[in-house]
Chains A and B, each alone.
Chain A
Amino acid sequence: MKQFFTFVRKEFYHVFRDPKTLLLLFGMPIAQIILFGFALTNEVKNSKIVIADYAKDVASERIIEKIEATKSFEIEQILLSTKEIEETFKKGKVKLAIVFPATFNSDLSHQNKTQVQIIADASDPNTATTLTNYAQSIIMSYQREVQAMNRAPLQINTEIRMIYNPELKGATNFVPGVMALVLLLICVLMTSVSIVKEKETGTMEILLVSPMNPLLVIVSKAVPYFLLSILNLTVILVLSITMMEMPMNGNFLLLYFASSLLILAALSLGLLISNSTNTQQEAMLISLMGMVIPTMMLTGFLFPLENMPLPLQVMANIMPSKWYYIIVKSIMIKGLGFVAIWKEMSILLGMTIFLLTMSFKRFKIRLA
């Protein structure tokens, strides 16, 4: 046990004595949050929506027809009541709901004005705004259509409701993404580089020839980065909750548990990389190309996954960060508990266990 603690302490010395590592560790999360704070606009295609049609009249049916005709939307379901909307949203597939009141057409023809409600899942604010704008323009085009046959001025009021993230704060979208990115970057990059560095300086040879269990060498290398990642995660959370007004509606414990799973998966990946590389540059390059870039592309926080070609969507499923991203959003924004995200959690857990076993199995007790 003493060996283990000495080893961990040594690893901390390495980190704290290298200004570059320190800067990377603690400067990067802050830089990332600022960077991604400038939200990006995205075009949306084939977004799944639901419609609660209480009117079932000519007007509502004509609008539904128009919606079906566009490429932007795909009607998932016609609902019978507004209560179901909440549930479909929580499942996460549906981004937008349109509600026609029972008196939709009759109000229009008798009072020359009527109402329609658009509800959007605004945890991804870019998509939410784009989708509501689309929906509004379709309704407006119907209004112009009817206006052409009518002399009296007509008016369809759209009432927009953003749920989960009513103020459309970009933070809700990118903070979970940055969390995933930072955890992956630190764990994969730092572990692989620090192990390969020992190969380069020849110290790994000494450690292997020592009576210390080779697995212990690896585990004690991972511990500091695990702890530092948790610390980093806390920094990001504090920053984003206090300064970016990121909501935290769920359970902290659950969030940290999910994060630990991702960290473990990332550490195992870092270990796997260090096993098959011999120079720090190689390890760095593979970590960046193999982990960071795919994470940015395929997690869903920069580019909505639903717009991607099918092969990329399939690929995204093997990214631990995709599932982590969903979990974090569900916990922090929607305030959901374990029951609601057990599926994503089990996928992440499965991936972690797989990577961990792989890295232990592939670990070499010799040089070659």
Chain B
Amino acid sequence: MPEVILENISKSYQDGKVKAVKNVSFSVEKGELFGLIGPDGAGKTSLFRVLTTLLTPDSGIATVFGCDVVKDYKSIRQHVGYMPGKFSLYQDLTVEENLNFFATVFGTTIQENYDLIKDIYVQLEPFKNRRAGKLSGGMKQKLALCCALIHRPKILFLDEPTTGVDTVSRKEFWEMLQRLKKQEITILVSTPYMDEATLCERIALIQEGEIMSINTPQGIIEEYPKKLFSIKSSNMIQLLDDLRKYDSIDSCNAFGEYHHISFKSENTELAKSELTTYLKRDRDYKDLVINDINPTIEDCFINLMN
């Protein structure tokens, strides 16, 4: 039986005016690292709050390790670890005091589960007498993770743990999650950063309260319906404009150094050579580079949104 099950969950606010979650169903297996990928306002936080028993759904059924989120909320609260999106710990307590406090709240001690947080806590140890408010974003996030893990939960819910954190800290954080997975803890994580999707085992792409696709990252990429190319020249802004005006282009999006394009016609090789000719001859691009590429999760997300 899956560790987390959602069946037709809906949640709205302000007497139904704001529909945050619309008829969402999915399940998460035990020990899985599951990612909920979507922009702000997609409904990620609402889903997390339903699963952590903080909100009751308007309709639908959700269970966490077999317990109903409405009826058996007490049993669920015994065994989940939760890191809310806006979680900022007690700024005026030191690192150690924060950890001690949450350990006691969950009826345990730091010593008891030290092996679980050891990897993370050793990095914090030099600052254990520093107040949490004086830590950097990355360090705060590590402390928050320690606090969420201190009672050795069966499931960890991490709501946008990497938002507002720089690339280096984000990388470190995901490495920590990979290590935690080995401890057989089920992890549900949400993020607005599409590039983090590939670090999960399975992902759900969510937009405006609806799940657009659920699969492994590879599976989602394979579902992409078109052949995708990357294109680059020295004048990227002009190129974007020209590509958008070009008839046989189906989609064209800026992706960092390159633009990603797909064609309307099935015969992509022909379309590609036609485009190259057009750009080189008619539009005078001299340093054009076009490559065949595999789509990224972000390509898939954009495709599903349209």
Please tell me whether chains A and B touch each other in their complex, using a CB distance cut-off of 8 A.
yes
| A211 to B55 CA separation, bound complex (whole angstroms) | 16
| A136 to B105 CA separation, bound complex (whole angstroms) | 68
| A2 to B148 CA separation, bound complex (whole angstroms) | 19
| A211 to B151 CA separation, bound complex (whole angstroms) | 10
Min CB gap A222→B, angstroms: 17
A-B contact pairs, 9 of them (CB 8 A): A10-B93, A200-B86, A201-B90, A203-B89, A205-B54, A208-B77, A366-B53, A366-B54, A367-B54
Asked whether B105 lies within 8 Å of A13 as measured between CB atoms, the reply is no
Asked whether A10 lies within 8 Å of B90 as measured between CB atoms, the reply is yes
| A53 to B37 CA separation, bound complex (whole angstroms) | 90
Contacts A3-B107, A6-B105, A14-B92; is A202 near B53 (CB within 8 Å)?
no
Min CB gap B48→A, angstroms: 10
Could you list 17 further interchain pairs (A-B, Cβ under 8 angstroms) beyond the known A6-B100, A205-B52, A365-B73? Answer: A6-B101, A7-B101, A7-B105, A13-B93, A14-B90, A14-B93, A202-B84, A202-B86, A202-B87, A203-B87, A203-B89, A205-B87, A206-B147, A207-B105, A208-B53, A210-B77, A366-B55
Q: Which residues of A contact B107 (CB under 8 A)?
A: 3, 211-212
Does B102 belong to the interface (CB within 8 Å)? Answer: yes
B 82-109 to A, binary, CB cutoff 8 A, 1 in contact else 0: 1011111111110001001110111100
Does B143 belong to the interface (CB within 8 Å)? Answer: no
Number of interface residues of B (CB under 8 A): 33
Does B21 belong to the interface (CB within 8 Å)? Answer: no
Using CB atoms, name the residue of chain A closest to B101: A10
Min CB gap A212→B, angstroms: 5
| A212 to B77 CA separation, bound complex (whole angstroms) | 9
| A207 to B84 CA separation, bound complex (whole angstroms) | 11
Q: Which residues of A contact B82 (CB under 8 A)?
A: 205-206, 209
Inter-chain residue pair count (beta carbon < 8 A): 85
Q: Which residues of B contact A203 (CB under 8 A)?
A: 87-90
Contacts A206-B147, A366-B55; is A201 near B100 (CB within 8 Å)?
no
Min CB gap B117→A, angstroms: 16
Does B56 belong to the interface (CB within 8 Å)? Answer: yes
Contacts of A1-51 to chain B: CB distance below 8 A: 2-3, 6-7, 10, 13-14, 17-18
Q: Which residues of A contact B78 (CB under 8 A)?
A: 211
Using CB atoms, name the residue of chain A closest to B76: A209
Contacts A3-B105, A18-B92; is A209 near B54 (CB within 8 Å)?
yes
Does A69 belong to the interface (CB within 8 Å)? Answer: no
Min CB gap B247→A, angstroms: 51
Asked whether B105 lies within 8 Å of A212 as measured between CB atoms, the reply is yes
